[in-house]
Amino acid sequence: MRTYAKPIAAVTGALALASTLTACGGSSAASDEKIVTVYSADGLKGEAGDGWYDKVFADFEKKTGIKVKYVEGGSGEMVQRALREKSNTQADVIVTLPPFIQQAGSKGLLQKYAPQGADQVGGGDKASDGTWTSVVNNYFGFIHNKKELPQAPKSWEELLDAKYKDRLQYSTPGVAGDGTAVLIKAVHDFGGQEPALEYLKKLQANNVGPSSSTSKLAPKVDKGELLVANGDVQMNFAQSKSMPNLGIWFPARGSGKPTTFALPYAAGLVDKAPHTENGKKLLDFMLSEGAQREVSAIGGGFPARKDVKATDANAIELAKLLDGVEIFEPDWADIDKNLKTYVDAWKSATGS
């Protein structure tokens, strides 16, 4: 039976994982306009204008005079939008989560460009064809309401309890990166697609329903409308600063060890981008040492560059979150190739 993951690499503590970026060439129609358009998965822009994107984009505009036009949505949603616009490209840079950054590459949406600093991103974390790299490292996770549910659930099986009926929600696989991650982790933890789908079919009895955006679930958990939802470490850690009831946790299968996997924000330069040179400058800036040093302190994530060692209070707290959690590596090539099949199987199993 097909599984989504390669053999597990058991790792504890915070790992600096990345993914890749590269792109050369560009649109001959690129103008001198002082603008760059970014299509991005949600999570890096702060609810109160205090996120990593907010700081980096403001610093970038101050340094270069180039204004960032920002468009946000679910990971898959952003790639689909760029695909629809392929004959009239609007975006210059795409930032999204796996497997959607691989999907963008395989569908010819990205061009090759090696941004400054990409040499400090691990070789295994770069696209083999040089079309993307991660700018912020991250891990998949879940959240719970610490006030109403002080002790986080330990296992997937606990979530089947009747007390979670209509108090649990996860974002939609195939649309949201973190939603797709639910499916990937379940297949890994349950040992294959069939048992994972059997479980998710049972879980559907408690699930509120679809959500195209994972970031919208955190406020519901913080207010107590939901007890549990999916998310990712960077986004939820950043949100917890203004949403004090959020707690991050990682489900295990039965009495096993909790597991997670890297889910980085990976960026690529869009093929035939209207402002290619501006896109290159922004990618260089996001991977600069200065911007990378702010990833944990401001963004609540993990630096993508190996030579940037974060020692701030957030970095220490983030490392503790992952202590004792087993990290596995999904087979992203397989997931990219067969994503539609897997999502269709999930829809069939859950009646979604």
Owner of token pair 């915070």:
14
| 114 Rama sector, left if φ>0, alpha if ψ -120 to 50, beta otherwise | beta
Lowest-confidence range among 64-78, 124-138, 222-236, 279-293? Answer: 124-138
The pLDDT confidence band at residue 201, using thresholds 50, 70 and 90, is: very high
Pick the residue with more confidence: 251 or 8?
A: 251
Overall average pLDDT of the 147-153 stretch:
97
Which residue, among 99, 98, 256, 263, has the nearest Cα to 189 in the 3D structure? Answer: 256
* Distance, CA of 97 to CA of 206 (rounded, Å): 27
Tokens of 84: 């629809």
Question: Is the separation of the CB atoms in 270 and 284 below 8 Å?
Answer: no
Percent of the chain with pLDDT over 90: 82
pLDDT at 118 over 80: yes
* Phi, psi values for residue 161, rounded to 5°: -60, 145
Q: Which residues of 236-272 are buried (b: 16+ CB within 10 A; e: fewer)?
A: bbbbbeebebbbbbbbbbeeeebbbbbbbbbbbbbbb
Which residue, among 42, 119, 122, 116, has the nearest Cα to 290 in the 3D structure? Answer: 116
Predicted local confidence at residue 31, as pLDDT: 57
Percent of the chain with pLDDT over 70: 91
> Tens of pLDDT along 46-93?
888 999 999 999 999 999 999 999 999 989 999 999 999 999 999 999
* Phi, psi values for residue 78, rounded to 5°: -70, -40
As a whole number, the mean pLDDT across the chain is: 90
pLDDT at 259 over 80: yes
Q: Report the half-sphere exposure of 114 (CA within 13 A, side-chain side).
A: 10
* Distance, CA of 308 to CA of 55 (rounded, Å): 18
> Tens of pLDDT along 303-343?
999 999 999 999 999 999 999 999 999 998 899 899 999 99
pLDDT at 24 over 80: no
